[in-house]
Amino acid sequence: MESGENSLPSGSDGVKRKVSYFYDPEVGNYYYGLGHAMKPHRIRMTHALLAHYGLLQHMQVLKPSPAKDRDLCKFHADDYVDFLRGITPDAQQDQLRQLKRFNIGEDCPVFDGLYSFCQTYAGGSVGGAVKLNHGVCDIAINWAGGLHHAKKCEASGFCYVNDIVLAILELLKVHERVLYVDIDIHHGDGVEEAFYATDRVMTVSFHKFGDYFPGTGDIRDIGYGKGKYYSLNVPLDDGIDDESYMSLFKPIMGKVMEVFRPGAVVLQCGADSLSGDRLGCFNLSIKGHAECVKYMRSFNVPLLLLGGGGYTIRNVARCWCYETGIALGMELEDKMPQHEYYEYFGPDYTLHVAPSNMENKNFRDLLDDIRSKLLDNLSKLQHAPSVPFQERPPDTELHQVVLRDEDEDDKDERWGPDSDTEFDDYSNPVPGRVKREYIEVDRNDSGSYHNHLDRGRDFDMPFKENASSKGSGSNGSG
Ligand SMILES: [Zn+2]
């Protein structure tokens, strides 16, 4: 099923996509601490590039409404969420047992504003899912999200709450089947674990495997019980290049789309799989990485694009900017526009960077073997499962602020009471085109999934024991 080659509007399907993009102007101010590899500033750099490439005017730009305690508790344990809400850098010394219990420490430190950071990035992903559920957009983007390692009651690999699991739970209110695809260099363990025993979510993770964080993601891990064959793991080795990566990604994802037929797709676009990443060891170009986005986009299924890892931050911003262009069906000039972070991109000041000449340890016969094993697993899926829907659970409360809308003329506008003071720090390259508006899509008070979803028990708890943190150390990743 190689139908993904002409996915842009100029290509065979000829369809332009409506894109909703979630961004909080505060997100770049959160700081994990001196020397920590995870830098939320990269989200702000990405946004600056989007602005100066002129992409914001083609999307609906939304400030996510922060996820509330009860939203986070749809996946996470109450006491874990309570702890995240209450902990401060100063209070740490008195809470050593709790810190240990919830795996808060070196990789996942306590920092100022930690809880609001979690609320912000989770709010963007869940908000994106709600927009997709309402058919407001075809593609929703939250580059601040994608923190795939977080567990039900444990932080892991720079991740505190699992916005991806929360977003998928939201999508499951409307869609019978949701596909999760993870191209971060690290195994998407938190998401896999959450949905390991259900056939309503298929998870597919492409990752470095073998003596590498988090240590899980063996090709033989295929799901459990009803979820057997609904988890797919693609173990890769150092130095994989675009051609090798695509020789697996396209045939596998093509087959997945054919047999699973998801109603929505969530793609975690971790950029630590790029060549030259500070923590990674793959050799993908930005175009190679973005080819995954292009390919998944080509199926015309509602698509949620999320961030994730990525530790050479100039390349992260390059990548996610380019991929936003792909989502919009726009090819961007390689020469970068002047902007506030321009000096990060020297000496070439281009969007694309050449991959390195590192050795590709993924030999042909190894790749062939992986491909045929996974296609064989997929052939065991006889049909796409479906569930009877009784009553649609209410949406998670959503009242984003629209920072600007891609189609300004035909909107039912309701201006928020304090909309003029909300974004003093928001800089837009096209002054006067920023729309500040409250929309209240649905204010139904949402109950717990477990009460509404006919098979909600599937999501009550992780199904696999927490994976042992093999290789856990200071090289974990989001
Ligand atoms: Zn990662």
Has residue 461 got a pLDDT over 90? no
Has residue 446 got a pLDDT over 60? no
Per DSSP, 376 falls in state H
Has residue 71 got a pLDDT over 70? yes
Helix and strand numbers (H, E) in the chain are 12, 10
Whole-number average pLDDT of the chain: 84
What are the φ/ψ torsions at residue 285 (nearest 5 degrees)? -85, 170
pLDDT tens column, 337-390:
999 999 999 999 999 999 999 999 999 999 999 999 999 999 998 666 676 666
Confidence of residue 466 (pLDDT cuts 50, 70, 90): very low
SS3 229: coil
The residues placing their C-beta within 5 Å of ligand 1, an ion, are: 184, 186, 270, 272, 309, 477
Rounded Cα gap, residues 167 and 195, in angstroms = 13
Q: Considering the candidates 149, 187, 207, 289, report the single residue annotated as catalytic.
A: 149
pLDDT over 90, % of the chain: 76
> What is the side-by-side strand order in the sheet with 139-142?
231-236, 201-208, 178-182, 264-268, 303-306, 139-142, 19-22, 60-63, 401-404, 437-438
The reported pTM is 0.84
Has residue 174 got a pLDDT over 90? yes
* Predicted local confidence at residue 84, as pLDDT: 98
Q: With beta carbons less than 8 A apart as the criterion, state whether 349 and 226 touch.
A: no
* Predicted local confidence at residue 142, as pLDDT: 98
pLDDT over 70, % of the chain: 79
> Domain residues of the chain, as ranges?
19-459
Has residue 318 got a pLDDT over 60? yes
SS3 374: helix
Per the model's pLDDT, the better-predicted residue between 1 and 319 turns out to be: 319
Per the model's pLDDT, the better-predicted residue between 392 and 188 turns out to be: 188
Centre of ligand 1 to C-alpha 26, Å, is 23
Q: For the residues 114-134, what does the mean pLDDT come to? A: 98
Rounded Cα gap, residues 175 and 384, in angstroms = 12
**Candidate from 44-58, 121-135, 418-432 with smallest mean pLDDT:** 418-432
Confidence of residue 156 (pLDDT cuts 50, 70, 90): very high
Rounded Cα gap, residues 471 and 107, in angstroms = 12
Annotation says 149 is catalytic: yes
Centre of ligand 1 to C-alpha 157, Å, is 8
User: 19-459 in CATH: which number?
Assistant: 3.40.800.20
> b vs e for 136-153, b when ≥16 Cβ sit within 10 Å of the residue's Cβ?
ebbbbbbbbbbbbbbbbb
* Predicted local confidence at residue 288, as pLDDT: 98
Has residue 416 got a pLDDT over 50? no
Rounded Cα gap, residues 152 and 74, in angstroms = 10
* Predicted local confidence at residue 224, as pLDDT: 97
